Amino acid sequence: MVPGGMAVMIFPANPTGIPYSQTFTGAMFELLESSILDLAREGKISEAQVDSFNLPMYVPSLEEMMELVQKNGCFDIEKMELTSPGVLHESMTNTSSMGKAIVMHPSKKLQLFVVLIRKLMRFEVV
């Protein structure tokens, strides 16, 4: 960075006033949780594996992000906009990164993937 320079920053954010659970990414996490619980109910993974899964994540609203940048005081916001990268791109990003976070035998991961795909096929995008 140079004094007076500009930077483009891309990061996840939600529209102000929209709960995370009502976003596509939030719905994906709910489907993943539901799929993991299904495998536990079927006895395919243990309750300990369910309890050990933790993926802490917080996605701020645009308003929250603006407040944080302004509070920091090191940057001025010239333009901020919410983009929609598309359902396919976002789902691929999330499921591939979550695969690394889920620690279980590869055959169990495959079972989880199959359950998740079945749920996704019934998922209606509004």
Summarised one tens digit per residue, pLDDT across range 64-121 is: 888 988 899 888 888 887 766 444 334 444 544 555 555 566 667 777 888 888 887 7
Compute how many other C-beta atoms are within 10 angstroms of the C-beta atom of residue 31.
20
Give dist(CA 15, CA 53) in Å, integer: 28
Q: Is the pLDDT of residue 63 over 80?
A: yes
Q: Which residues contact 2 (CB under 8 A, 6 or more apart)?
A: none
Question: Tens digits of per-residue pLDDT, 8-57?
Answer: 877 777 777 887 777 777 888 888 888 889 989 999 888 888 887 777 77
The reported pTM is: 0.57
Report d(CA 18, CA 112) in Å as an integer: 29
pLDDT at 124: 62
In the numeric block, which tokens belong to residue 28? 């994906």
